[in-house]
Chains A and B, each alone.
Chain A
Amino acid sequence: MPGPGRAPIVEARAIHKHFGHLHVLKGVDLTVAEKELVFLIGPSGSGKSTLLRCLNRLEDPSSGSVVVDGIDMLDPRTDINKARQRIGMVFQSFNLYPHMTALGNVALALRKVQGMGKAEAEAKAAAALDRVHLADRADHYPLQLSGGQQQRVAIARAIALEPRVMLFDEPTSALDPELVGGVLAVMRELREDGMTMVVVSHEMGFAKAAADRVVFMSDGAIIEEGIPSEIFTNPSHERTRAFISQIERH
């Protein structure tokens, strides 16, 4: 819960999103405090990804307001490319650039967006790879890395820009079970370093251990939210209960 004295990093208000006739987000409010880890769960198609993507404007909300680290993301005068550097994003499918090494993947935005020289960018990229324990894989191309390693490179690519908040959209869903742990471990270390995070995931064990707050979405709206133990063991809504028992059966 955003306690006193903890400034919100993300403040989304009354977000609506339409895709043609499809009403995907129906007035969602989401506030994330500094250093908070918010876990976003809900059935497939409930709008979790769309909500995340509205936060860094990969999707334009149809209405509502999004303020991240004090920047009005929907103001047309906002330099969106500058603002996005404060919001790291990690995707289910990694989306590493296949024509670049791990180091190249991480260094690209440092060079082209932040204008660093080659040496400086590569030093910073190497440090980011070190944080995800892949310093020795800097020269590998994505296809030479396991899925878990690719996802950690993707995390390094995002954190190298020193974002104020990290968005994770099902970061472990595409991974073989034995590779999930390495990615979750890196995420936990990030959290311990004080990173603000919004995580969409079905990894309930991770949520119980690391989340400050669990938000349950269904059908484009937030149904309920609370601390993990409360949501997982004693949800107040039938839909939450049904979803959780379904997840836990897997």
Chain B
Amino acid sequence: MTGWERFTDSFFNARVMAQYLPKIVEGFFLTVELAALIIVAGLALGLLLALVRAFAIRPLNWLIIFMVDLFRALPPLVIIVLLFFGLPNAGVELSGFVASWLALTLVLMAFSEEIFWAGITSVPKGQWEAARSTGLGFVQTLAWVVLPQALRITIPPLTNRTIAITKGTALASVVAVPDILGAANAGVSFSFNPSPLTLGAIAYLVLFFPVVVLGRWIETRFAWKR
């Protein structure tokens, strides 16, 4: 066997790939489901916290800032492991899927809150004043004037963060979730051949490449009309 043949046999072994493709496809859809649930819940909670913060209620804001800093400081894997192995001691049993979802949702919530908040504060004070001077209330100004502008500037950093954090769904394999990486790892251990990992990499590309392209499209779509 030449080196090249050894390489293709290890990483592009058609027999092994065919055998584990169904598992990887299952893992793919599980990863999509997990990622979608994280994105929806994480971004919604992040936006909600940023909006609450806009009301400038001191004790509430301290609490939000503490939570946000906490989940930005902790490595996502540590949160997953704490929720999965730690919570049962407190009488709460979470499945690996739920523990991973909750952990990454909290992380995305924290990061996206900061991004949404930065977006809200970056809208010039003059926008608030112009709107309020025409009789719009605080909430109306936030909803119709400030938020639409804030969301536009948040789109690039938000897209990047969201992609980075949802790629963290691979961590779920640590708590026995058969996502793409979990399925690929299982395939490697049974077949003693790393080809399933190649399939896994392809699956991740198929999943995230369109997301990256979509992010780029949204960015140009929402640029100010000149």
Contacts and interface: CB of A to CB of B under 8 A. Distances in A.
A97 B127 contact: yes
A161 B127 CA distance: 18
B130 A91 contact: yes
Interface stretch (B35-43, B90-98, B135-143, B193-201): B135-143
Contacts of A108: 131, 134, 136, 144-145
Contacts of A206: none
B124 A95 contact: yes
Nearest to A101: B225
A87 B149 contact: no
Interface of A: 56, 58, 81-82, 84-85, 87-89, 91, 93, 95-99, 108-109, 112-114, 141, 143-144, 154, 157-158, 161
Interface of B, secondary structure class, is helix
B224 interface: yes
Contact of A84 (B124, B126, B135): B135
Given A99-B148, A99-B149, A143-B225, A113 B133 contact: no
B216 interface: no
Given A91-B126, A143-B224, A143-B225, A58 B132 contact: yes
Contacts of B225: 141, 143-144
Nearest to B151: A99
Nearest to B130: A95
A84 B134 contact: yes
B134 A113 contact: yes
B26 interface: no
Given A56-B133, A108-B145, A112-B140, 19 more contacts: A58-B132, A82-B135, A84-B133, A91-B129, A93-B124, A95-B126, A95-B130, A97-B145, A99-B152, A108-B131, A108-B144, A109-B136, A112-B144, A143-B224, A143-B225, A144-B225, A144-B226, A157-B130, A161-B135
Contact of A95 (B127, B136, B148): B127
27 contacts: A58-B129, A81-B136, A85-B135, A87-B133, A88-B133, A88-B134, A89-B133, A91-B130, A95-B124, A96-B130, A97-B145, A97-B149, A99-B148, A99-B224, A108-B134, A109-B135, A112-B144, A113-B134, A113-B136, A113-B140, A141-B224, A141-B226, A143-B224, A143-B226, A144-B225, A154-B130, A157-B134
Interface in B96-154: 124, 126-127, 129-137, 140, 144-145, 148-149, 152
Nearest to A104: B144
Indicate the member of A58, A112, A144 with the most B CB atoms within 10 Å.
A112
A126 B71 CA distance: 50
Given A99-B148, A108-B144, A143-B224, A93 B135 contact: no
A98 B149 contact: yes
Given A109-B136, A112-B144, A113-B134, A98 B224 contact: yes
A114 B225 CA distance: 28
A237 to B, nearest CB: 32
Indicate the member of B134, B140, B148 with the most A CB atoms within 10 Å.
B134
A160 to B, nearest CB: 9
B142 to A, nearest CB: 12
B11 to A, nearest CB: 49
B123 to A, nearest CB: 10
Indicate the member of B135, B140, B149 with the most A CB atoms within 10 Å.
B135
Nearest to B146: A97
